[in-house]
Amino acid sequence: MTVAALGIDAGSTTCKAVAVDADGHSVGWRLESALPRVEAQTDALLVALALELGAADGVPVVATGYGRKLVRAATRDVTEITCHARGVFADLGTGGTLVDIGGQDAKVIRIDERGRPVDFAMNDKCAAGTGRFLEYTADRLHVPLDDLGPRSLAAPRAEHISSTCTVFAESEIVSLIAQGADVDEILLGLHRSLVSRIVAMVRGVGLTPPLLLSGGVARNDAIRELLGRETGQPVRLPSAPQLMGAYGAALLALELTR
Amino acid sequence: MNLPTTLSDLRVHGEHLLQFQVLGSTALRVQRLRNERKLGALRMGPDDVLAPPPRALARMQELMSRHYLEGRYANGVRKVAWVTSGAPWEPLEALGFFPVYPENHAALCGVRRRAEANCEEAEAHGYSRDLCSYARTDIGTVLSGETPVGRLPRPDLLVCCNNICQTVLYWYEVLAHHFDCPLVVIDTPFLYGEAQEHQVAYVRRQFDEELVPTAERVAGRTLDERELVRVMLEARDASQLWREVLDRSRHRPAPMTAFDGFLLMGPIVNLRGRRATTEFYRDLLAELDARVERGVGAVAHERYRVAWDNLPIWYRLSKLSKLLAGRGVNVVASTYTYAWGELAPLMDPTDPLGSGARVYLHPILNRSTGHKLEAMRTMVEGFSLDGVILHSDRSCKPYSLGQIDQRDQIVDTLGVPALLLEADHNDPRAWSEEQSVNRIEAFIEMLETAAS
């Protein structure tokens, strides 16, 4: 097991690193919550992963994510659009329409049959429709993040959340609770609100099946379920949705060696 | 020019003569010669991503600085008209009016990072942040008196033409109320296809019945037909030359960028109908021809060629230009700069008012969204483009309307990557640096992978 390249995704919520061998297979990874000091954190994360896997010095590193330009060890930096497309294509072996919902942004990327991103859309200047929206409201409702999906899916009906703004949605939640609304039904309403924004972006880019889902929010079953229902398409997930950006970055780093 | 009749008039005329015509103009000429020498001596270094700007930039700076300098001393010496960018200027030039283009002045505030404060001034007086940032910058300037050009002259006449948007109607009403001066509104019916003769006749009637009589009354003289023909001839020649300047970027590598164009368009917007403007564009064209001959590109390593749709982001011109050039992207064409060149063939100096009615009906913003798509399609082919950036401009609704479909059409039917970039042409508070740069870089990566 020789580490041939490393990829690091310094995201807004979590920081991920993936190592690949010369064949492009993932041989190890690390994930931790993002800290304010991106330089120090990414240095430490890469060193830890390299030591754990016995990687040689001078292994190429590609950085992605919002902190990508602050990764001192990076040979190159590439945006998440390209990295996610590359990672998911390698993992699932197919192009299609990729929805990636991260902590701070949501993106829809159309990937062609050769794995190249050919079009994309992102949420604009607003955290609604992203992981942060769910995190924020989960916190307000005192529901653990991992319970969000199952509890939403268990709700018999959804409360209607009209505001797409994270901050205003909180006011709406407060008012719904005051009116005695059921927490699970509020949760389902929130998930629907988020998915409706994502589906609008999917329609903007155009849905070329299969529909693929990556990013930390892919861990949430309700999002996957509702996205499938709204688009009428089965949703396919890569093996490690949250690591696809870093995996794609590692594959791009591997290309630098060739 | 108004002749002095009182002592106070004499003082005003004396100031205009001394400060503008003698001292200011001489100083600006000296500065231009110095700048020309400097620009001429500049050579591209190994780490430079952009070639030095054209030497003609020095002449442009002189023309525009002279113009705004004269503005400081214009009141009482020349009649001043504040006009929209799509207003029929030629009759006013022939009547000797001094022009102020609030939109251009607002852009200047944007480039000099003074727009935000003026927008806030307007907002503090109750003008909504949803209004166009040019309107807010201008109204804020009027209210605060703050301008990077020292002083703007008060208008004696306002001319507003709705061929660029409807906001100007209310914006100019605000100005008319504030300055208590006559306002002429020229209504140009929106063109869904080609202009109908009754539409041309309708605009022409407004020239004959409203614009010319009001302007003559304010100017205190009648319109000299021969002078109007001369002005129209200059305007047509300059517009034609400007179009040729822009078309030089069909060459690979392109001798200039659209970012250069956003600055070099100053005279065709503000000083149309003057000999000096025509000469400026003739010189610029010759300079670009020399670049083309020597194979000199404006971007050090031009790998990808893209078009820009909509207004520039004035407060990010330089950063965006360097970001793109650093990755080998040259923005070689723009629907915006083209708007001042593409109508030259419609200008007929033998029939200035008749052809003028047709010209001012045809700006890209007064035509259907399908027409704009067609214009971009032609650009993609004519300029051998690899992609298109569509600036979705929060302030310019008519320009931004239809862009989502236009973008999709470009991607789907031409197979060319296209990016919708959300921003605002003059209000930096609507700009998100991280998100925007991220999108632009992802777009460039798409161009790279498409080429690989």
- Which of A38, A68, A82 to mutate: most B Cβ within 10 Å? A82
Supply the pLDDT for residue A161: 85
Q: Does A242 touch chain B (CB under 8 A)?
A: no
Do residue A120 and residue B435 have CB atoms under 8 angstroms apart?
Answer: no
Least confident stretch, A154-168, B50-64, B421-435 = A154-168
Q: Where are the beta strands (DSSP E) in chain A?
A: 5-10, 14-20, 26-33, 61-64, 76-77, 96-101, 106-111, 117-122, 211-214, 235-236
Nearest chain B Cα distance for residue A246, angstroms: 16
Q: What's the pLDDT band for A57 if we cut at 50, 70, 90?
A: confident
User: Mind telling me how many Å the CA of A119 is from chain B's nearest CA?
Assistant: 7
Confidence of residue A72 (pLDDT cuts 50, 70, 90): very high
pLDDT, tens digit (0-9, with 9 covering 90-100), for B259-293: 999 999 999 999 999 999 999 999 999 999 999 99
Contact between chains at B404 and A105 (C-beta distance less than 8 A): no
pLDDT of A126 strictly over 80: no
Residue B2's pLDDT is 72
Asked if A9 has any chain B CB less than 8 Å from its own CB, the reply is no
| Structure confidence at residue B253 (pLDDT) | 97
| Mean pLDDT value across residues A34-42 | 95
Q: Does B412 touch chain A (CB under 8 A)?
A: yes
Residue A258 has pLDDT above 90, yes or no: no
Searching chain A, which residue's CA lies closest to the CA of residue B429?
A125
Q: B414 at the A interface (CB within 8 A)?
A: no
Residues 6+ apart with CB under 8 A from B9: B2, B76
Q: Is the pLDDT of residue A125 over 70?
A: no
Question: Minimal Cα–Cα distance from A16 to chain B, Å?
Answer: 19
**For an interface test with B, which of A68, A77, A125 has the most B Cβ atoms less than 10 Å from its Cβ?**
A125
pLDDT above 90 for B74: yes
What per-residue confidence (pLDDT) applies to B447? 95
Q: What is the pLDDT of residue A253?
A: 97
Q: Does B411 reach chain A within 8 Å, measured CB to CB?
A: yes
What integer pLDDT is reported at residue B1 of this predicted model?
A: 66
Q: How high is the pLDDT of residue B379?
A: 97
- Note whether A79 contacts B417, CB cutoff 8 Å: no
Question: Nearest to residue B384, comparing CAs of B254, B242, B241?
Answer: B254
Q: Calculate mean pLDDT across residues B59-73.
A: 97
Q: Which residue would you say has higher pLDDT here, A122 or B244?
A: B244
- Report yes or no: A159 at the B interface, CB cutoff 8 Å: no
pLDDT bucket at B6, cuts 50 / 70 / 90: confident
Residue B167 distance to chain A (closest CA, Å): 25
- Give the lowest-confidence range in A162-176, B11-25, B148-162, B358-372: A162-176
Query: Where is pLDDT greater, at A164 or A40?
Result: A40
B445: nearest CA in chain A?
A: A82
Q: Which candidate in A80, A105, A124 is best for mutational testing of the B interface (most B CBs within 10 A)?
A: A124
Closest-CA residue of B relative to A86 is B449
- pLDDT band (50, 70, 90) for residue B162: very high
Considering only CB atoms, A117 lies closest to which of B404, B438, B449, namely B449
Nearest to A117 among B408, B412, B446 (CB): B446
Spell out the residues 6+ positions from residue B32 whose beta carbon is closer than 8 angstroms to its own: B58, B59, B61, B62
A234 close contact with B: CB closer than 8 A: no
Is B438 in Cβ contact with A79 (below 8 Å)? yes
Looking at the complex, does the CB of residue B128 fall below 8 Å from at least one CB of chain A? no
| SS3 at position A15 | strand
Comparing alpha-carbon positions, the chain B residue that sits nearest to A115 is B449
Using the predicted structure, report yes or no on whether residue A3 has a pLDDT greater than 90.
yes
How much is the mean pLDDT over chain B?
96
Q: Supply the pLDDT for residue B434.
A: 87
Does the pLDDT at position A110 exceed 80?
yes
Residues of A in contact with B432 (CB under 8 A): 125
Q: Give the model's confidence band at A102: pLDDT under 50 very low, under 70 low, under 90 confident, else very high.
A: confident
- The pLDDT assigned to B5 comes to 80
Q: Write down the mean pLDDT value for chain A.
A: 92
Question: Within the 169-208 window of chain A, which residues sit less than 8 Å (CB to CB) from chain B?
Answer: 204, 206
pLDDT at B137: 98
Any CB–CB contact under 8 A between A75 and chain B? no
Q: Do A105 and B432 touch (CB under 8 A)?
A: no
- pLDDT score at A1: 64
Domains of chain A: 5-85+243-256 (3.30.420.40)
